[in-house]
Amino acid sequence: MTVLQSLRAELTEATSGLLATAASLSDADVASASRLPGWSRGHVLTHLARNADSLVNLLTWARTGVSTPQYPDARAREAGIEAGCHRPAAEQLADLRESAGRLDAAADAVPEPAWATPVGGLRPPHHPAWYVLVRRLREVGLHHADLGAGYGPADWPETFVRRELHDCLRTWPHGRSTVSAVRFVTPANGPVAAGWEGLGDGPVVEGAPADVLAWLTGRSAGEGVKVVPEGRPCPPPPPWLTTTAPADLPATPPKDYP
């Protein structure tokens, strides 16, 4: 058994939660501002649907061996979002559900050996096809919170937080770091649980894992994250996930990840 089964089960659950939130939105809700500057909730929902279709392209690439870009280019990605962002809630929900179904069907169609096929997005590096599932979980988890509709960083599953922090560290921009170390504490402000050292220049910060992830991904201004010793404001986070994927992923699906 490999990580494919657990990632797909996790994705099914995450998608179900996202669809439930989308189903609760009225036309006015969808037209209202999301937590992403300049984007309505309609922008977020349309992006999630088009992202699912773009990842179908990568799984098609893996299945057929024929290079199939995720998007033709960045402008095509943006145009797809703008084309659908003003639709009413029912159309947004149907598109979100149907595109998720297409991605699930595309994953079903990938033969086991093909999950090791290198595929690529708009940014380097290429990564093995199994990592497409991680990327989709990232999109669903972060953008579900971006809707600002009752789901936030505090609702992220522990598995999601652990994996995203793992990949954040593996793609850390040391030359552009704003902190020298990160320490993780229990959510109840207990003792330090673990930490990252040698990140670059700047202060040491600490916080609960979900709070740190929210700060690092720009989903918070640093609530729950403090500078050690206290007395200084939390700095802005360094650039987050500056590459599509960690550069040294195993080609074949591992037993678990991370």
* Tens of pLDDT, residues 68-87: 999 999 999 999 999 999 99
pTM of structure: 0.96
The whole-number pLDDT of residue 190 equals 52
Does residue 233 have a pLDDT over 90? no
Indicate the pLDDT class of residue 108, thresholds 50, 70 and 90: very high
Q: Which two tokens stand for residue 197?
A: 């050292």
The whole-number pLDDT of residue 123 equals 87
Distance, in Å, from the CA atom of 256 to the CA atom of 6, rounded to the nearest integer, reads 8
Number of C-beta neighbours around residue 176 at 10 A: 11
| Omega of the bond leading into 173 within 30 degrees of 0 (cis) | no
Residues 126, 79: contact at Cβ < 8 Å? no
The whole-number pLDDT of residue 187 equals 64
Q: Which residues contact 255 (CB under 8 A, 6 or more apart)?
A: 1, 2, 3
The whole-number pLDDT of residue 232 equals 83
Q: How much is the average pLDDT of 55-63?
A: 98
Distance, in Å, from the CA atom of 235 to the CA atom of 178, rounded to the nearest integer, reads 7
Distance, in Å, from the CA atom of 110 to the CA atom of 103, rounded to the nearest integer, reads 11
Distance, in Å, from the CA atom of 4 to the CA atom of 11, rounded to the nearest integer, reads 10
Distance, in Å, from the CA atom of 145 to the CA atom of 90, rounded to the nearest integer, reads 20
The whole-number pLDDT of residue 142 equals 98
User: Which CATH number fits the domain 3-151, given the four candidates 1.10.3980.10, 1.10.274.10, 1.20.120.450, 1.10.287.90?
Assistant: 1.20.120.450
- Residue 67's SS3 state is coil
